[in-house]
Structures are given as C-alpha cells and as structure tokens.
Amino acid sequence: MLNSQKIAANSSFFLLSLVAQKVLSFVYFTLLARGLGVELTGRYFFAISFATMFAVLMDFGLSPVLTKEVAQNKDEQAVYFQQIFSLKLLFTFLSLIFLATINYFFWGNDPVQLLIYLTMLTVALDSFTLLFYAFIRGQQNLRYESFGTIIFQMIVMIFGLGVLKFTHNLFLLLIVLFVASLFNFLFSAFILRFKFQTKIKFLWQKDLLKKILIIAWPFAVAAIFAKVYAYLDSILLKIFLGDLELGFYSVAYKITFAWQFIPLGLVAALYPAFAHYFKEDKAQLTKVFNRGFLYLSLIAWPLSFGIIALAPEIILKVYKPEFQSAILPLQILIVSLGFLFMNFSLSSLLNAANKQKINTRNLGFTMLLNIILNLILIPLIGVWGAALASSTSTLFLFILNLLAVRYIVVIDRQIVNKMLLAFVLSLVMILIVYYLKTIIFWPLTIIVGGAFYLFALWLFKILTINDIKYLKTSLFNKNQSS
C-alpha cells in the first residue's frame, strides 16, 4: 500500500508531465500553424476535432469506472478489466462504423475525408490507451502514464516538425500523430501485461456487464455533453464557413484553452481535500474552497486581460500576419478565461460532494445553449459568433455551478471583495500594457504589467504569505491524518 507521501509524489510527477505535455503541444501547434498557413491549419484542426468528439462513444464512461473498481476490488480487478475491455471493443467497433458512415456522407467531396479516416484510427488507439492507463491508475501508479504522455508528445514534436520541414502534406503529419499514439498504446499494453500481470482477453458475464453499464452511463452522458460543447463549434464553422475561417478560430481556440493545465493542476490537489473535508469538516471545506476559488481568479484575470491587450502582437508576430482575423475571436474567447478557471473548482466541489448528477445536468443545459447560439451567431457574424457563443456558454455554466455550490458551502464575502478588487487591478494593468506597448518592446510589457499586478496584490493584502501557507497546510496535512 502506498503512503501519503508517495501518492503525493506520484501526483506531482504526473502534474509536471501534464504541464510539460500541454506546453509542448501548444508550441507544436504554433509552429505547425506558422508552417501550414490558415486554411491547412483549419483542415488539420477539424480532422482531429471531428474524430475526437466521437471518442466518448468508444469509451462510454468505462475508463473512470475501471479505475474506481480496480482501486476498490483488488481481488476481482482482472475480471473487471477483461469485461470492460470486451465492452470497449464492442463500443469502439460500433463507433468506428458510425463515424465512418457520417464521414462518407458528410465529407464525400472534401479533402478532409481521408484525414478523418486516419484520425478515427488514432482516436481508437488513444481510447484503448486511456483504458489501460485507467487500470494502472487504479493501482495508484501514475508514473508510467506520465512517461508515456511525455514520450508521445516528444514523438509528435520531433517527427512532426521534421515532416513539416519538407512537406505540408496533412496526411503525413497525421501519420506522425498515429505513430505516436501507436507507441503509447503498445507501451501501456506492455506495462499492463508484464508489470501488472494482467491478461488482455475477451470476457462476457451478463451480471457483471449490467453492473458496469449502470455505473458507467452517468459518466458517459457527462462526457458526451462536454465533448459536444467543446467541439461542435468547429464542426459548424466548417459547415457554414469553411476551412479558412476555421483556421482563424483554431488559433484563437488553442491559445485560450492551452492554459487549462493551471486549473487542472490546482484542482488535482484540491479534489482530495474537498472529498475529505466534505465528510469530516464542513467549516474547513468552506475555507479551502474559498481560498482555491480566489487563487484561480487571481491567476485568470490578469492572464485574460493581458492577452486581450497583446492579442494583435501575439497573432501578428507569433503566428504571422495572415492570421490577423484571429485577433478578435481570441479577444472574445479569452475574456471568459476567469469563468473557465473557476468552473474547474466549482465542478470539482460538486463531484466531491456527490453531486455528479447536478454537474451532468448543468453541462447538458450549457451544451444546448451552446448549440443554439452557434446556429444563430455563426451564420450572422462568422468566426466572432463561434467565439461569442463559447464565452457566453462558459459564463452560463459558471452561473449554474455557482448556484449549485451555494447549497454546499458559503461563499465568503471578503473573498468576493478580494476577487472584485483583483478584477479592477487587472483592468488597470491592461491600460498600463496598452500604453507601454507603444513605447517599448511588447514582450517587456508582460514583465512590467505582471510586476504591477503582483505589487498591487501585496499592497492591498489580497494575497499574503499566510494565505499560501494555509492552503498548503490544508491540502497536505489532511493526507497525513486520513
């Protein structure tokens, strides 16, 4: 059995690998976009987005169920794995047929059709890799997944940039992605079979099958809502406007959502604390939640407003002038970054408090709103409409989750006042950056604006050393006592 220190070390190593993977992925996409240009970037982005949206049908909530059951039923973990693996085979086969059919009829005369067939196979491999790592997670081991994730991204980056140097052939670039996924699949399967002595074979037990599906369906529904909400805008942009406009949107989308590793990292530490204090100490739960909620907003608002101020420079200097039409979509998308960050905390608390159904309901309502807004706004105002629909939906989900969370914890007024003051300071920072970028080299404004913001947080006592020490103590001491 692992002690709390080893679990913390495992988690920390995984978070570092996740951050590294996200950073490398963002750098790779940026270099890819610079090399390919707007239209080919849009086509590449769409092929991956379209296939990825259907990945939830392949998994159907089975991976989180496997992790849970392996952790709780050590004696039957091989049986659970083999039954879930068998189900996964069936769901993947049916999903590939469904996806291939849609691809054939919808994109028959489009160059993207062949690309989607290839990404289908890549997504299928990734789905099984996810399942294998889910079993290993149930063993409270994250190191192998960490290694696999980093090596996967290194393969993509090294070979992808090598291909890009000689050709802009999207099929070859997606072959690189397939090869990297194949490596991760084989690596995870090897670890599963030889390190954890688990045989990969077919099993079909009706009673166990029924039990697994009953547990899995809420995870599946939530995942479907989340995927449709995340990727439908790209599909509608492709249908209504085409690859060029999708290329502009893909850059704005990548810049905005590349920062998700920040709330993911904090919430990974917060979730066990939420779950523990929900059972043991409601007063402490309120304190930890409010502090975490504050810290996410303190990071998100200056990041959001700073990117708004520097969006023209980021797009024109980093991505090339041909991506100029991505500037406004980026500014519209990034304005919701604060709500996006805080949603991670709200959603995590709802899950820790056994309110998963509320999470799923809120995601369902948000998905419906997002679909309606995209159908109305994209034909009216194009790429801006997709960005506006996304930001509005993020705000809507934040409001729904916040209303639900108020029945679990009390939102501290002092924390709210600090968040509002930080919001105002971020607005002041944006004015400073706007002015300074006209007289000094624009990257230097990031340093000056950031220094002003941090000084203001200290000056107005919005963030103190004691705050940070309190959160650290709350997160780690409870592990030692539990």
pLDDT tens digit sequence for 32-66: 999 999 999 999 999 999 998 888 899 888 888 88
Q: What is the pLDDT of residue 353?
A: 86
Q: What is the pLDDT of residue 141?
A: 77
**pLDDT mean over 459-477:** 68
The amino acid that residue 305 corresponds to is F
Q: What is the pLDDT of residue 420?
A: 95
What is the band of 179 on the pLDDT scale with cuts at 50, 70, 90? very high
> What is the token pair recorded at 427?
């607005």
Dihedral of the CA atoms 202, 208, 209, 214 (nearest 10)? Answer: -150
Name the residue ranges covered by the structural domains of the chain.
1-227, 241-482
**pLDDT mean over 204-216:** 87
**pLDDT mean over 238-253:** 93
Instruction: Give the number of C-alpha atoms closer than 13 A to the C-alpha of residue 154, restricted to the C-beta side.
Output: 10
pLDDT of 292 higher than 90: no
Q: What is the pLDDT of residue 279?
A: 81
d(CA 263, CA 268): 8
Q: What is the pLDDT of residue 469?
A: 67
pLDDT of 478 higher than 80: no
Q: What is the pLDDT of residues 403-421, one digit of tens each?
A: 999 999 999 999 999 999 9
Q: What is the pLDDT of residue 21?
A: 85
pLDDT of 3 higher than 50: no
Q: What is the pLDDT of residue 1?
A: 42
pLDDT of 4 higher than 70: no
If DSSP codes are grouped into helix, strand and coil, which group holds residue 241?
Answer: coil
Exposed/middle/buried for residue 3 (C-beta within 10 Å: 0-12, 13-18, 19+): exposed
pLDDT of 480 higher than 50: no
- Interior CA angle at 261 toward 245 and 286, to 5°? 125
Reported as type and span, the H/E element at residue 193 is none
pLDDT of 422 higher than 90: yes
pLDDT of 471 higher than 60: no
| Average pLDDT value for the chain | 88
pTM listed for this prediction:
0.86
pLDDT of 477 higher than 80: no
Angle between helices 206-240 and 243-257 (to 10 degrees): 120
Question: Which stretches of 107-169 are DSSP H helices?
Answer: 112-138, 143-166
Assess contact for 404 and 345: CB atoms under 8 A.
no
Q: What is the pLDDT of residue 219?
A: 82
Q: What is the pLDDT of residue 70?
A: 81
Q: What is the pLDDT of residue 264?
A: 78
**pLDDT mean over 82-104:** 94
pLDDT of 216 higher than 50: yes
Q: CA quadruple 388, 21, 307, 43: dihedral positive or negative?
A: negative
Among the residue ranges 15-19, 231-235, 251-255, the one predicted with the least confidence is 15-19
Percent of the chain past pLDDT 70, that is, above it, reads 94
d(CA 197, CA 456): 56
Q: What is the pLDDT of residues 127-174, one digit of tens each?
A: 999 999 988 888 777 788 889 999 999 999 999 999 999 999 999 999
Q: CA quadruple 161, 162, 163, 164: dihedral positive or negative?
A: positive
- Per the listing, tokens 């942009």 go with 237
pLDDT of 474 higher than 60: no
Percent of the chain past pLDDT 90, that is, above it, reads 60
Among the residue ranges 83-92, 206-215, 387-396, 425-434, the one predicted with the least confidence is 206-215
